[in-house]
Amino acid sequence: MTAVETGLPRVDVMRPWLGPEEIAAVAEVIESGWVAQGPRVAAFEAAFASAMDARAAVATSSCTTALHLALVVAGIGPGDDVVVPSFSFVATANAPTYVGARPVFADVDAATGNVTAETVAAALTPATRAVIAVDQGGVPVDLDPIRALCDPLGIVVVEDAACGAGSTYRGRPVGAGAEIAAWSFHPRKILTTGEGGMLTTSRPEWADRARRLREHAMSVSAADRHASLVSPPEEYGEIGFNFRMTDLQAAVGLVQLGRLPEIVARRREIAARYRDRLADVPGLRLVEDPAWGAGNVQSLWAEVRPPYPVDREGLLRSLAAAGISARRGIMAAHLQPAHAGRDHVPLPVTERLTGATLILPLFHQMTDAELDRVVEAVRAPGER
Ligand SMILES: *Cc1c(COP(=O)(O)O)cnc(C)c1O
């Protein structure tokens, strides 16, 4: 919807928060003459590992490629099953297929939208070798019980922390308790580098292999070859990929990472205001922090059920009529043609949430007037 219909400027669902520091950081990289993966990527990896309490970090071109690499280094391949939530962005379910494994869908908990030890247990098969546990919308997944279930069975738990930067689980950053985790820097997430991702792991040998695999499995990195006049001959020990991040992206990432506490504090403040002002609306529920952690509010999702006067589609329409851009809630991969026909356990909570949830506008620069407009439109859908 446009200003033409409402007479008011449109309220976006999300806006990245980028400024002069990011511009200056990119300019400095361009002036340096080295724009591909190099010293800024290395610096961003070190800073990210430190901020996320991770032993090692390997930058990638996206979270999707980080998930792909995570499954490769964990040794997952053809004949293996990987338990994933259907209730997630489709990349989570796609990742196992890239290594020839089979995604097996687990249901989620209605309060958090995340898999639990119980929903994972219900989806295990004799061939399960990995589980991808997602911090959906930035809500920390309850990882410890999932690891308590999987570790004794030799099942690797990969944390898909695409949305999770700045969220905490039992007092530590999400991802810190995982053997391996994947992160996204897409503009729809908390920190952005345009496109980009990161893999963090507690296993140095997995980090080393991922570092080589992202760069064609070269034994000497391009940056190291450049550094010496006569470089040692490189060797390609296995089939690798080009999943590299550029120094242009990493320079932006370093600035963004420095802003993370401020970004999360602001998002939590806006979410608290939404909760406060919508708490008494019958049939409307906003996602909350679970007992075991604090989310970064990457996505503030709301579920509508009777006695709320309209369904999710009706609410989206009435928000659009008020010039407000909201989004349908998290998708369900098992309902998409790309994953149709897979056997799966019943997924009643996934189906309920994907049909009845929506994501409310929330961004750093959101004004009080914009928040007021959204609150009014949600409190009185269809009335203008
Ligand atoms: C966005 C997202 C991804 C994919 O991230 P990209 O960086 O765009 O590849 C993967 N998993 C989840 C849960 C996501 O939300």
Domains of the chain, with CATH numbers? 3-15+260-379 (3.90.1150.10), 20-258 (3.40.640.10)
Compute the distance from residue 7 Cα to the ligand 1 centre, in Å: 35
- Which residues, other chains included, contact 280 with Cβ-Cβ below 8 Å and sequence gap of 6+? none
The residues with which 324 forms a beta bridge, in sequence order, are 11
Compute the distance from residue 162 Cα to the ligand 1 centre, in Å: 5
Q: How many CB atoms lie within 10 A of CB 233?
A: 7
**Residue 307 preceded by cis peptide, ω within 30:** yes
| pLDDT score of 2 | 46
Nearest CA owner, ligand 1 atom 6: 63
Contact criterion met (CB below 8 Å) for 181 and 207: no
The residues with which 58 forms a beta bridge, in sequence order, are 199
Query: Which pair of structure tokens corresponds to residue 182?
Result: 């994947």
Compute the distance from residue 273 Cα to the ligand 1 centre, in Å: 27
Compute the distance from residue 184 Cα to the ligand 1 centre, in Å: 6
- Element spanning 134, H or E: strand 128-134
Compute the distance from residue 326 Cα to the ligand 1 centre, in Å: 19
With the most atoms of ligand 1 within 8 angstroms of its CB, the residue from 136, 184, 359 to mutate is 184
Q: Could you give the residue numbers annotated as active site? A: 189
Q: Which atom of ligand 1 is nearest to the CA of 62?
A: 7
- Which residues, other chains included, contact 139 with Cβ-Cβ below 8 Å and sequence gap of 6+? 112, 113, 114, 167, 287, 289, 290, 295
Contact criterion met (CB below 8 Å) for 328 and 311: no
- Which residues, other chains included, contact 6 with Cβ-Cβ below 8 Å and sequence gap of 6+? 321, 322, 323
With the most atoms of ligand 1 within 8 angstroms of its CB, the residue from 14, 71, 163 to mutate is 163
With the most atoms of ligand 1 within 8 angstroms of its CB, the residue from 62, 63, 131 to mutate is 63
- Paired sense of beta strands 156-160 and 128-134, if any: parallel
Query: Which pair of structure tokens corresponds to residue 374?
Result: 């959204």
- The Cα 384–Cα 375 span in angstroms is 13
Q: What is the mean pLDDT of each run of 10 residues along the chain (384 residues)?
A: 65 95 98 96 98 98 98 98 98 98 98 98 98 98 98 98 98 98 97 98 98 94 79 89 98 98 98 98 98 98 97 97 95 97 95 98 97 97 75
| pLDDT score of 222 | 78
How many Cα neighbours within 13 Å face the side chain of 383? 8
Query: Which pair of structure tokens corresponds to residue 192?
Result: 């952005």
Query: Which pair of structure tokens corresponds to residue 286?
Result: 């906003």
- The Cα 277–Cα 207 span in angstroms is 46
Nearest CA owner, ligand 1 atom 5: 63
Q: Give the residue from 175, 142, 176, 143 showing the smallest Cα distance to 160.
A: 175
Amino acid found at 131: V
Nearest CA owner, ligand 1 atom 1: 162
Contact criterion met (CB below 8 Å) for 244 and 60: yes
Compute the distance from residue 301 Cα to the ligand 1 centre, in Å: 17
Q: Which atom of ligand 1 is nearest to the CA of 184?
A: 7
Q: Which atom of ligand 1 is nearest to the CA of 137?
A: 15
Contact criterion met (CB below 8 Å) for 370 and 11: yes
Sheet of strand 293-294, all strands in order from the earlier edge strand to the far edge: 172-173, 168-169, 293-294
Q: Which atom of ligand 1 is nearest to the CA of 92?
A: 11
- The single-letter DSSP state of residue 282 is T
Residues at CB less than 6 angstroms from ligand 1: 62-64, 88-89, 91-92, 134, 160, 162-163, 184, 186, 197
Q: Which atom of ligand 1 is nearest to the CA of 185?
A: 7
